[in-house]
Amino acid sequence: MSGGPLVTLDQLADGGFGETEATVDGDTESIVIYRDGDRVRAWMNVCPHAGRRLDWAPGQFLKSREGLLVCAAHGASFELQGGECVGGPCRGESLRPVAVEIRDGAVWLA
């Protein structure tokens, strides 16, 4: 994808996730975007455990009752500030962050 926003804010529920593809360092990558009120954070949609996607179907992410993002493959759970794995097989590792910003009601690569 080139030039456009990753996703518009109204496509993201507050506290919810979105998924899109974008060109990062020259490669097309799947990205998970998390909305937290007026802020968004984004990471590569790649689990540090075994390199699988985090979603169970494109754009469908699991969130635990504790508010953690749960990898659909083997259940690693990630906190949503820094993307650190706080439970499961890759505890202590982190998702790879993607720098994004909000502009004109949409999320863009920063």
- Residues in contact with ligand FES by CB under 6 A are 47, 49-50, 52, 71, 73-76, 88-89
Closer Cβ to ligand FES, 40 or 54, answer by number:
54
Beta carbon nearer to ligand FES, 90 or 107: 90
Among residues 18, 28, 8, 12, the alpha carbon closest in space to that of 69 is found at 18
Minimal distance in Å, beta carbon 68 to ligand FES?
12
Give the end-to-end CA distance of the chain in Å, rounded to a whole number: 15
* CA–CA dist 89, 106 (Å, integer): 34
CB of 23 to ligand FES, least distance (A): 24
